[in-house]
Structure 1
Amino acid sequence: MQGTKSFWKTSDRWFKVALALFMLAWILTLSGAAWFKLNGLGMGFDLGMYEQVIWNTAHGRAFETSAFRYTNNHIGADLIVLEAILAPLYALLPDTMTLLVAQVIAIAFGAVPLYLLTRDRLQSNWAALGIGVAYLMYTPLLYLTLNEFQPRAFAMVLILFALYYLDKTRFAPYAAFLFLALLTRSDVALIVCMMGALAFVWRKPWKFSLAAFALGAVWFILAVFVIVPSFKTDSGGFIYFETYDWLGKTPVAVLTTVLTKPAYVLQTIFSPQKIQFLIQVFGPTLPFSLLRPDVLLLAAPTLALNLLSQYNVQSNITRQYAAMLYPVMYASAVLGIAWLARQKWLTTRVTRAHFVHAAVVWILFFTLAESLWVGNPVVSQYRKGASPRVATVRALIADIPADAALGISNHVGPFAGKRQGFYFFPPHEYYTHNTFEVSEYLLIDAQADGNTPGVKAGLIQLQNNPAWQLVAQRDGYMLYHKP
């Protein structure tokens, strides 16, 4: 019996070592899966787009991009200072995998604030380790990690650290992590504002609320209404507002529709796909996360942006749009368990400890079970492995002059980002709209992209245009040149 007691009282240091070892194994495994997905031709144009911006920035052309219809500087799409922060690292290691591995490492470190929050609130090193492992095994998080390069992934971890320091009432690191989170995407400013609301609800010193409200509101207004529009080459505003045109053309019109036509709005919010999406996101942490609606305030902006969108990709866990929900789910679950553990019906310290550990096992079990239901993307990538076609696409791109303007179809994108002339094929309303005019070469993955209506139409146009010559065709790739 004495041995059992000493086992459960093992020093916190060894639990931190265990978490660090699990994180290291996770980083190595997920980095390998990212390599397989990249070389298995499973990534798309956006990865090349981000790499082009960071590659340009590393070469002194800050935030320059050729991928968009409405801007030649990525700030004209969104204010992502993170790209400049990563540019020196990329300059040292100029490879696509640099970005993918940096993302994997950043996401892994989200387990640290969750471990600390759980240890302090649940008074259990075992529970802390269990929550850290559950977070890293969460299926939507695995999909996010392998979904090309996503600035939201970095924001997610920074918000977790800010939440931990808010809980500890440590202002300096709290404010620092909130500021760093703002450097990832402009919409993160809305979550920073919600952190101020949470600080108010928790009755933290006034500076915690004021700093978050001021930082978030000022950043959002300046970024969305001043800085981003000033870098656009057309007269439009913030491009992502167009997602909500069905509700109104302005933020005020959107709010008016939501308040005056609730039934109309609810039909979109509670579609079958979105209900399934909510179950997949919340499922592993239920019912505990629902016990802390105060913490769920942090999820409100992301939920609103995704549920009010009519684009199905925004309610799909295999994409990046729900990323900012993931840390909130686990943090709210931990604090929900802590609230239950304080209730009078748990009469002794032993019963409280048993309850806490059972609750964490519950979360860990359903986190792992979700992989069986939805599918584990890491296992999938290792099973698929690399594609023999990847050597072909790399060789074809290597044969194209580095200073030549290149139009590429979606699945060629990840291999073509290191050039100034980088365009989307076929012409697109948001990406390149005049691909035929600005490109000197067109490289199309007819095997992977050829069944999409736009690529089909584009290929027909190419074949009927004598100005374009087919100069290479192998392994499903078609390379055209316009002399």
Structure 2
Amino acid sequence: MDEGSAVEPSRGSRFDSPWWIWALAAALFFTYATLSLSIHQRMLSHGFDLGIFEQVVRSYAHGHLPVSEIKGPDFPILGDHFSPILALVVPVYWLWPSAMALLTVQAALIAASVLPLTFWARRVLGSPAAAVIGVCYGLSWGLASGVGSDFHEWAFAVPLLACSLTALATGRMRAAVCWALPLLLVKEDLGLTVVVIGLVVAWRGDRKLGITTAAVGLAGALLATTVILPAFSPSGSYDYWGFLNGSEGSAGGLTHLLYRSTIGLITPEVKVTTLLFVLVPTLFLALRSPLMWIAVPTLMWRAASELSIHWGTVYHYSLTLMPIVFAAFIDALSRRNPSRSSVRRYLAGSAAITLMLLPHFPFWQLVQPATWRDDPRIAAAHRLMDRIPDGATVQASNQLVPQLTNRTSVSLHGWSDSRPNPQWIMVDTKVPFSQRWPLNVLQEQQALGAARAQGYLTVSNEQGFVLLKRPS
């Protein structure tokens, strides 16, 4: 076959055996787990969101509907987000009742998503191309941001999307729908993603199945946001509609809505930057696949949101976009019947971009000496936390909360909705300025002073950690 001929997947070589794909997934699992567990063990994880999710899973493990003390006293999480799929973590949590169990499950879920995409790429493009795509996907910035940002329910969506889109692209429509429908149990916004998957199924030929899937997706999203979540919510409504609301007054609201749905989708410029980051690992080739339509609901609600953290590339908000864009990349490469040289150029470009982005996202922490350096403050913090008895009510600093969620009733110190008058208060007074939330240094000192004025006793003050106890 000459240099300009079409790609023909290789067969029969040792490298073509599937073992290396499983080895790649295992290596990525180890990478993801190592990163997230090291962040947690260095006390850089957060009450929002790791602590909340552990309280949810702990509730399920104890056999009752999920609540989170961090969100508020006995706050019903099914009034916040509709994510009953989290109950699947319970068997692991029974064996390992720790926030680290959630982080390990997340690492396994994301690593598992590599398998369907890489096996598909191997079938249609050959093993060398599949290896490059698998590594670029596995080390992509969106996955890195998610793995480096605590635990989130969207981790369940990543392998579901990878399997659904692989089946959809290879003509297995029923399998695509079967993998897509559980997305309705992951989070309420993913109902719109199911709608678009159904529409793509209908466009690709199975009209009845596609339209039915789209209808089920829309019904699921509406049922969650207008019935289930308001029924459980203390406010009696779906609180996150506020991210899309306009300004006060009907005229102002309509004007704001018009702005949000037009020019507001691309301003400020960080929104465009994020879109470029999503597409550039595929050298924009993903745009040539209809599978990219499946990313539209996530991109749209993020761009329309008034919450600025939804716009950028940090946190977990791009987790579900990565399997979509790389599935579209594989689909576009295979559909175009490209030459070997063309495929090599795209793969080389994708690999180069992945390498250039690595130092700017959390995977790079794994090669930084500070990640592996012992910090005596961590041992001091655990000595103080060990003095808090199991089952106690506690208020703690954001980074301390997930260290205590497995055995206490802990809420966030300085959060207005936290349970008042806890038995214990533990505060890290040396949190860097950039990581402080919800209190700044002055507010924190005032809060500690107020607690002492109410009778709380200082049990210990060691290396910046202050432990207070309420008199019995």
Give the structure-2-normalised TM-score. 0.88
The corresponding residue for 1:131 is 133
| Other structure's SS at 2:427 match | strand
Partner of 2:111: 108
Residue 459 (structure 1) aligns with: 445
Contact kept? 1:114, 1:331, Cα under 8 Å: yes
Query: Pick from 364, 369, 389: which aligns with 2:351?
Result: 364
Q: Is the 8 A contact 1:138 1:368 kept in 2?
A: no
Taking the aligned partners of 1:249 and 1:96, their CA distance within structure 2 comes to: 44
> Gaps spanning 5+ residues in structure 2: where?
2-7
Question: What is the aligned partner in structure 2 of residue 72 from structure 1?
Answer: 75
In the alignment, which residue of structure 1 is the partner of 2:213?
212
1:414 is matched with: 402
Contact 1:467–1:482 under 8 Å retained in 2? yes
Counterparts of 1:57 and 1:310 in 2: how far apart (Å)? 32
Deviations 1:143-187 (A, max 9, x none): 211211111122022011011112233344323311222221111
The residue number in structure 2 matching 1:273 is: 270
In structure 2, what is the equivalent of residue 340 of structure 1?
A: 336
- How far the C-alpha of 1:388 sits from its partner, in A, is 2.9
Q: Which residue of 1 aligns with 2:426?
A: 443
Corresponding position of 1:192: 194
Deviations 1:346-387 (A, max 9, x none): xxxxxx233223322221222222214557444356642253
- The 3-state SS of whatever aligns with 1:417 is coil
Alpha-carbon shift at residue 93 of structure 1 (Å) = 1.9
Task: Tell me if structure 1 keeps the 8 A contact 2:294–2:324.
Answer: yes
What is the 5 A alignment of 1:286-365? 286-292=283-289, 294-341=290-337, 352-365=339-352
Q: How does 1:5-20 map to 2 (within 5 A)?
A: 9-11=11-13, 14-20=16-22
Give 3-state SS (helix, strand or coil) of 2:263's partner: helix
CA distances 1:175-207 after superposition (whole Å, capped 9, x unpaired): 3311222221111111111101211222x3124
What is the deviation of 1:26?
1.9
1:98 and 2:101 equivalent?
A: yes
Identity of aligned residues (%): 22
Aligned: 1:223 with 2:234: no
From the superposition, tell whether residues 268 and 123 of structure 1 become closer, same or farther in structure 2 (CA, over 3 Å).
Answer: closer
What CA distance in whole angstroms lies between the structure 2 residues aligned with 1:50 and 1:379? Answer: 25
In the TM superposition, residue 44 of structure 1 has moved relative to its aligned partner by 0.7
> Is 1:399 matched with 2:387?
yes
Q: Which amino acid aligns with 2:356?
A: A
Cross-structure match for 2:181: 179
TM-score, structure 1 normalization: 0.86
Does the C-alpha gap of structure 1 residues 70 and 328 become closer, same or farther in structure 2, counting only changes over 3 Å? farther
CA distance in 1, matches of 2:232, 2:72: 12
In the aligned structure 2, how far is the partner of 1:147 from the partner of 1:434?
23
Q: What residue in structure 2 maps to residue 82 of structure 1?
A: 85
Task: Give ranges in structure 1 of 5+ residues lacking alignment.
Answer: 343-351
Distance in 2 (alpha carbons) for counterparts of 1:118 and 1:249: 52
Q: What is the aligned-residue RMSD (CA, Å)?
A: 2.9
CA distance in 1, matches of 2:351, 2:17: 17
Aligned to 1:472, which of 449, 457, 460?
Answer: 460
Alpha-carbon distance, 1:278 to partner? 2.3
**Are the aligned partners of 2:9 and 2:126 in contact in 1 as well (CA < 8 Å)?**
no
Kept in 1, the 8 Å contact 2:79–2:233? The answer is yes
Report the Cα offset of residue 267 of structure 1. 4.5
* Corresponding letter in the other structure for 1:298: I
Secondary structure of 2:67's counterpart equals: coil
- Secondary structure, in 3 states, of the residue corresponding to 2:376? coil
Say whether the 8 Å CA contact 1:71–1:77 is kept in structure 2. Answer: no
